[in-house]
Structure 1
């Protein structure tokens, strides 16, 4: 039997290389589904966010220097980084709200 928190998982999907096509096997299996705890899922999500932002920054540099062949790659990477950042900020805000609500509970 799984723990109640073990069923919670974040959409941790590997970021495919720009221009490659990821099949359904690339999106199956999150860290929580593989037996990870909440802290490891959160750490993996933050690491993935950093990687997504780094890829976007790299493509932005290539676009600025004229080395980027297809501007669509940069636009897709920038939007992925933006959405991932918004998701992490929203999760952080919800966690802070939950903590604040728990702290208000009478003992």
Structure 2
């Protein structure tokens, strides 16, 4: 019986030493527009694509766990540990997504409470 290595999703890990943000020099000049209003230009598209990519990954993890659950229930799954690992990965990814969503909602509510 051979043992296959576990493949975890590629979530970013926290760096041990501070590193400069890639492209920070290119973004900094675009924070002030010609009309004097400050704000990032074009970074909303990048953030939106990151969010959609993360949700697609979460959906893929849940689909894989669901498929393995069906295989385990029907007796077609040889290694039950594949299902338990996939279910754990999907659970952790869902918890992370919910925590990020909660922080985003908290930040939005805090911004809405600011005096203008």
Same fold (TM over 0.5): yes
Check 1:61–1:44 CA distance in 2 against 1; reply closer, same or farther (3 A cut).
same
Which ranges in structure 2 are unaligned for 5 or more consecutive residues? 13-21, 23-42
1:55 matched to 2:43: no
- What's 1:46 paired with? 55
**Aligned with 1:95: secondary structure?**
helix
**1:19-65, Cα deviation, whole Å (9 max, x unpaired):** 4565xxx9499xxx7x9711000000000000000000000000000
1:93 matched to 2:93: no
1:37 matched to 2:46: yes
**1:67-106, Cα deviation, whole Å (9 max, x unpaired):** 0001100000000000000000000000000000000000
Structure having the higher Rg: 2
Let me know the Cα RMSD of the aligned residues: 2.5
Structure number with higher relative contact order (C-alpha < 8 Å, ≥ 6 residues apart): 1
Check 1:45–1:78 CA distance in 2 against 1; reply closer, same or farther (3 A cut).
same
TM-score, normalization: structure 2? 0.63
- What's 2:112 paired with? 103
Task: Find 1:66's aligned residue among 61, 71, 75.
Answer: 75
**Aligned pairs, how many?**
82
